[in-house]
C-alpha cells in the first residue's frame, strides 16, 4: 500500500516538502514505515532519534498496523524551556 506521510517542522525543512509517498506492504507497522522513511530520507533524523508518528491524529506505538488511507504524520522532537 502507498501512504501519504505528512512531515512537520524540522522534518519538512530537511525533506524540502510537506509530504512524501511511502510504499509499505500490507500489514506493515509504524516501525516498518519509519524504517522506509529513513531509507528514503537518510538525513531526516539521526539513527538515535526516535521519530514520533501520529496515525489518524493519535500518537502511535511502533507496533501499530497501518491501514490503507491512514493519515500518517511525522513529528520531530520538540525542545523548549
pLDDT tens digits for 8-23? Answer: 999 999 999 999 999 9
Evaluate whether residue 21 is within a structural domain. yes
Cα separation of 38 and 43, whole Å? Answer: 8
CATH of residue 46: 3.10.20.30
Does pLDDT of 80 surpass 60? no
Task: Tell how far CA 68 is from the center of its chain.
Answer: 15
Evaluate whether residue 22 is within a structural domain. yes
Evaluate whether residue 57 is within a structural domain. yes
Domain count, the chain: 1
pTM of the model: 0.92
For residues 52-57, give the mean pLDDT.
Answer: 97
Instruction: Write out the three cell numbers for 47.
Output: 539513527
Evaluate whether residue 81 is within a structural domain. no
Domain interval for residue 50: 2-75
Amino acid at each position: 500500500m502507498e501512504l501519504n506521510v505528512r512531515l512537520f517542522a524540522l522534518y519538512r525543512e530537511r525533506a524540502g516538502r510537506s509530504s512524501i509517498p511511502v510504499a509499505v506492504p500490507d500489514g506493515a507497522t509504524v516501525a516498518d514505515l519509519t524504517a522506509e522513511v529513513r531509507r528514503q530520507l537518510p538525513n531526516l533524523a539521526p539513527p538515535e532519534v526516535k521519530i514520533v508518528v501520529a496515525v489518524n491524529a493519535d500518537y502511535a506505538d511502533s507496533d501499530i498496523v497501518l491501514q490503507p488511507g491512514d493519515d500518517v504524520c511525522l513529528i520531530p522532537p520538540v525542545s523548549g524551556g
